[in-house]
Structure 1
Amino acid sequence: MKQFVREEIWQAFQTGAAGTGNWYAFDRPWGQVLDATRTWAETTKGHRKLWLCWNVNDNWCLLQQKLVRELGWTPLVGWDPMCGVGCPPTVPEAITIDFNVALRLPTLFMHVPLEFAFLWIEEKLAFWHSDLLLPRDRMERLAWVYESIQDGDMAAVFSYGGLKNLFNFRSHRYWELAGCTTRAASLDQYNQGSGWWKNIAFHPNAPQDEAEQRRRKAQYNEHGVGVRYWERHYGGRVTRISERSIADGHFSVTSVKHYQRADSKSEEMRINFDLIEIAKRFHIEDLLTIR
C-alpha cells in the first residue's frame, strides 16, 4: 500500500533536518542559539516548574494546559508551524513562546528547546507528547515523580524498542513521551555530548578519539538514545517512567487501524481521534473546550 506523504512536510525533513533534533544536521551558529535562549529565559523568568505543552492541535493543547494547571505547574506552550498550527488558545496562567523566531528553522521539533534547557530554565522543565492525555490520578503520579527529582537528575519514559530488542542495548532509549529534566541534568548532558538529539557522535562536545566515536556511531539513531548513553557511561541519574503505565493515553499514528492522513497534523488529530470520547473515558470532560 502506497504511503501518503504531505509534500511540504517531506521537503522540510529533506532540507530542514536542522530543526528535528539531529546533531549531524544542526547548522545554526552558537551565537544564534544563545540569542534565542536568552529570550526564552527572559520570558520564563520566575517560573521554576514549567511543563511544555507542544501544540499540534488547539483543542488538545488547551486540554493539556488545563491538566497541567491543576497540578500547580506552569503550562509553557510552543508550536511548529509545519504542523499547520500557531499559538493556540491558552489558560491565563500559561506562557507562550514562539521558539523559532530567532532560530528561523524550516521545521521545529520540541527536542530543540528541550536539548538547550540548561540555557533558559531556572529549575525544572516537564514535557510530554502533544498526543498524550491522562486521567487526573496518573497526572498526579507524574507530578509527584517530577517534584521528587533533584537538580542534576531527570525522569523519562524508558523504551527497549520492542521485545525483539530486549538484549540489544544499543537500541534502548529514553523518549520524550513524558518526562522532566532539570537545569543541572541538561547542562551535564550537554557537557558530556550526550542528550536528547540523534547522532551523538556529531555533538560538539563528543570525544573525538576513535574508540569513542566508533561506540557512539554504533548506537541506534533515534531521539533519547543519548540520554540512555549519558546514564550508562557518565553516571546520569534517570527515574524511569513505565511506558505501559501511560500507553493507553498515547494517541498516535500507531494507535488506530487505518490511520487517515491529512494536510496537517492538526487535522489528522481531529479526524482520527474523538477528543470528546477520550475526555469522557478519562473523566476529564469537565476541562474540555472545543473550538
Structure 2
Amino acid sequence: MRTLDAMEISQKGKGNWAIFNVPLETVHAAAAEWEQALAGVSRPWLCWNVSDRWCMLQQRLVQEVGWTPVVGFDPRSGPPTVLPGSILIDFNAHFGFEVMFPLFPMEFAFLFAERLGFWHSDLLCRLDVMHKLAEIFESLPDGSACAVHDLGGRRNLLNFRKHRYWELVGCTTKSASRSQFEHGAGWWRYFDHHPNCPDEKERRRRARYYYDHGVGVMYWKRKYGGKMVGISEKWVAEGHCTSINNKSYKPVNLSGVTLKGAEIDINFNIEEVAKHLGIGHLLT
C-alpha cells in the first residue's frame, strides 16, 4: 500500500473519496454527537468559520430569517465568536484533519439532521434574498434538496459531464442525503471512488465525469431521479466575496495550502460589503 503524501493528507477533510480511508464507523460515532448537539433544532443552517467577523455576520443573517446557525470551523482558523442562539460543533474532533471543509459534514447530513442549510464562508446576502432562500429551504419536501445549478459557463453547456450542483448556498433533507449516500453520488469529489459505487462498470462510467464537488449530486438527479431545486447564482452573486468578483484578488497560501480566511480579510472590506448589501446594521 502506498503512503499518502502531505498534499493528499491535507485533502482528507475537504471531501475527496479518492483518498478518504477513515472507517465509516468513526463517521457514524462522530455524527451521533452532532445529532445530539442539534436535538430539538428544526432549521439548522451551517456557517463555516474561516474569519471571525464574517462568520458572526453570517450567524446574524441566519438568525434574522428564523434559522439556527450551526457553527463549524476550519481547524486552521479555530472556533469563532458564537452568538447566543447559535450552536458550535467541532466536526473535526474525531478526525484531527489539518484542514476541514463544510462539505465533510454535508455529505453525512442524513446522520444528524432532518434538513440542513449551508453556504460558503465568503457569501453574504441581502435580507430579502435571505428570506427567499429560507422560504425555499423550508418548503423542500423530505427527499428533495436545493443548490446552485452550475453548468460551468458557456463553453461547457453541452458538456454534461461537467455540470454540477454548487454548494455556494443550498439545503438538503435527510432522505435526499441518505439517497445520495446509498447511491454513492453526493457532494464529495471523485464520486467514482465512493464506497457505495455499485460495481466496476459503473465506476468506469463515473470516472469519465468531472472530478469536482457536486458533480455526484447532478448525477444523482439525472441517473437516479433525485429531486433537486435549482437556485440562481444571480440571486447571490453580488455578495459572493471571492476572486470571481475581485479582479485584483490577492491569494494567500502557506506551503501551497490556501488560507481562505486571510484572503477574505485582505481582499474585501466587510463594512463596505455589508453597507452595499444593506446589512451594515448587523455588524458590530
What interval of TM-score do these two structures reach, taking the shorter chain for normalisation?
over 0.9
Q: How does 1:1-291 map to 2 (within 5 A)?
A: 13-82=7-76, 85-121=77-113, 123-210=114-201, 212-262=202-252, 264-289=259-284
- Return 240-249 or 109-118, whichever deviates more: 240-249
**By how many angstroms is 1:253 displaced?**
2.3
Give the letter aligned to residue 48 of structure 2: W
Question: Are the counterparts in 2 of residues 74 and 95 from structure 1 also a CA contact under 8 Å?
Answer: yes
- Return 251-260 or 263-272, whichever deviates more: 263-272
Q: Matched residue of 1:81: which SS?
A: coil
Q: Normalising by structure 2, report the TM-score.
A: 0.94
C-alpha distance in 1 between matches for 2:190 and 2:281: 43
C-alpha distance in 1 between matches for 2:27 and 2:172: 19
Give the letter aligned to residue 72 of structure 2: G
Question: Are the counterparts in 2 of residues 157 and 179 from structure 1 also a CA contact under 8 Å?
Answer: yes
**By how many angstroms is 1:265 displaced?**
2.5
Q: Normalising by structure 1, report the TM-score.
A: 0.92
Q: Matched residue of 2:244: which SS?
A: coil
C-alpha distance in 2 between matches for 1:20 and 1:90: 23
Give the letter aligned to residue 274 of structure 2: A
**Mind listing any 5+ residue stretches in structure 1 that lack a counterpart?**
1-10
C-alpha distance in 1 between matches for 2:250 and 2:190: 31
* Count of paired positions: 275
C-alpha distance in 2 between matches for 1:104 and 1:81: 8
- Return 30-39 or 183-192, whichever deviates more: 30-39
C-alpha distance in 2 between matches for 1:53 and 1:186: 18
C-alpha distance in 1 between matches for 2:178 and 2:239: 31
Give the letter aligned to residue 152 of structure 2: G
Q: Matched residue of 1:32: which SS?
A: helix
**Structure 1 residues 169 and 281 mapped into 2: Cα distance closer, same or farther (>3 Å)?**
same
Give the letter aligned to residue 86 of structure 1: G
**By how many angstroms is 1:258 displaced?**
2.3
**By how many angstroms is 1:249 displaced?**
1.2
**Mind listing any 5+ residue stretches in structure 2 that lack a counterpart?**
254-258
Residue-by-residue CA offset, 1:112-137 (whole Å, 9 max, x unaligned): 1000111111x110000000001100
